[in-house]
Chains A and B, each alone.
Chain A
């Protein structure tokens, strides 16, 4: 759960607090969890339920911080499509660094759609934004990530 909250907030202490809050909410709402599955599928369903709680807590936190309504500061002109060579050793720490450079709203949408598997309809309901906005911000987030990734590779290559 901490890995989830860390994707939404940059501050580690905030992430830790959100994780604990997620566990508190999970304990309080435990009776509401029900699954007919058993074994590994039950575990998967429970993990998914916990992940949803962590996501909701994180989104609530961002909404309270009024960071989700901040203007998207990415200039379209800066986001020219660029070719990216996928290297084999893409570490999570590096991805987190790239992700941290995205605006909050783009990062949240990227996480919700690409990582958690939410649909645009669910994302729009969760963030109280139109679906079209969700799609636009997702496209921008991807472009920005590619650009940042390329820039990081160039910097790395310059040192070598």
Chain B
């Protein structure tokens, strides 16, 4: 009992001592800690993220610039006419928006465009032509009118509109109006009843439709050639021609490991042999006859190229989400590294040296093949461009988010034209993964 009590006292004393113990601050501990962890080194993957972000930024900028240029074109011209009598009688009232209609009982309605006092810019001319096509002409109309031209464009609308409202009305109808008489009369009552605000909405909708027809994406395309698996990637741009057809292009950079073409005979391989590699190290052939005549025979030639691929494909949407595409690619070989694979017959030197005369008969068969790979000096493909591939692919698009989609697309590229006549086989295929924004 006494012993247990003392044991317990020991533990209690230990615990109490530990509990009350404090350690002094060690000088510089915090500084060392902050120096070590204060500025974390950027990991390797963050560089990839930065690179991807830069590519995305460039692509988005380019895409938005393209859309802006599209929007700069006047997509729709709204023309309205105002009865002069109404303005005279009710000067304080703003000109009412009138539907685009021809009232045959009202000869005062103007159906022609307003001539410009000063020379119009090409943009204004386009708007004027468009307007003339929209407004039907009535030869019987002779009264003075005021035209309100609300040609919609991204710039200077507010500056130009008042000027147009004060322009004097011409006395004669324009010839352009005479070319398409009765156009307004052919419009449906629903179209005639479209107010200005609705017209602006239509314009905005049409502009957004133009933007919506463009699609931009990033492409990753692992491919398989006869030699190895290659990786490539780039940017893809698509433009929707219709509901089912779209045109796609882009730029992608990738490596391509290619082997010799099957169309080439063995004799041509000898012509490829152009080795810049010096003789192998002395110890490489230790035990082999050093001065044996080189009886090399090229068994194969491979080439590793870095190429820029610019495709132009037509994509047909078979069903929702599924599509097939066919097109051509322009290929530029940026860099090439060619390797010759040789087999050399060499005679075993040691076997000869240690052999007795009586045993030499058996040494005829001691010539053994040695397999070598040598880097070739020639780079016949480097710097050359080809209208090179026929592209075939099928794919499926899967929406990931509201704005982001992912397409998985098995493809096959068949060399055609001059590229098919090269000494390397460029046939390749793989799976292309395309993101759409």
| Residues of A bordering B, CB below 8 Å | 2-3, 6-7, 16-17, 19-20, 23, 81, 83-86, 90-92, 95-96, 98-99, 111, 114-115, 142, 145-146, 149
Contacts and interface: CB of A to CB of B under 8 A. Distances in A.
A86 B6 contact: yes
Given A90-B13, A90-B14, A145-B14, A115 B19 contact: yes
B106 interface: no
Contacts of B22: 3
Contacts of A146: 7, 10-11
Interface of B: 3, 6-7, 9-11, 13-15, 17-19, 21-23, 25-26, 29-30, 33
A114 B15 contact: yes
A125 B357 CA distance: 86
A92 B6 contact: no
A2 B23 contact: yes
A107 B377 CA distance: 69
A42 B18 CA distance: 22
A2 B29 CA distance: 11
A86 B29 contact: no
A24 B33 CA distance: 10
B24 to A, nearest CB: 8
Interface SS majority for chain A? helix
Contacts of A23: 30
Nearest to B2: A83
A92 B17 contact: yes
Contact of B29 (A20, A85, A95, A99): A20
Contacts of B18: 3, 7, 92, 95-96, 99, 111, 115
A145 B33 CA distance: 34
Given A86-B6, A115-B18, A145 B11 contact: yes
B30 A84 contact: no
Contacts of A91: 17
B357 to A, nearest CB: 71
| Interface core residue of B9, B15, B22 (most chain A CB under 10 Å) | B15
A114 B19 CA distance: 9
Contacts of B17: 90-92, 95
A86 B10 contact: yes
A85 B7 CA distance: 8
Contacts of A96: 18
Given A16-B26, A90-B14, 13 more contacts: A3-B22, A16-B29, A20-B29, A20-B30, A83-B6, A83-B7, A85-B6, A92-B18, A96-B18, A114-B11, A142-B11, A145-B10, A146-B7
7 contacts: A20-B33, A86-B9, A95-B14, A95-B17, A98-B14, A145-B11, A145-B14
Nearest to B21: A92
Nearest to B24: A2
Contacts of B23: 2-3, 6
A5 B14 CA distance: 17
Contact of A17 (B3, B10, B14, B33): B33
B6 to A, nearest CB: 6
Nearest to B15: A114
B39 to A, nearest CB: 15
A90 to B, nearest CB: 6
Nearest to A15: B23
B37 to A, nearest CB: 8
A95 B29 CA distance: 25
Nearest to B6: A86
A19 to B, nearest CB: 7
Contacts of A92: 17-18, 21
A84 B7 contact: yes
A96 to B, nearest CB: 8
B145 to A, nearest CB: 73
B349 to A, nearest CB: 58
A92 B21 CA distance: 7
Nearest to A93: B21
Contacts of B9: 86
A140 to B, nearest CB: 13
Contacts of A111: 18
A142 B10 CA distance: 10
A145 B9 CA distance: 13
Contacts of B13: 86, 90
Nearest to A150: B10
A146 B14 CA distance: 11
A98 B14 CA distance: 10
Nearest to A142: B11
Nearest to B25: A2
Nearest to B17: A92
Contacts of B10: 84, 86, 145-146, 149
Contacts of B11: 114, 142, 145-146
Contacts of A16: 26, 29, 33
A30 B266 CA distance: 78
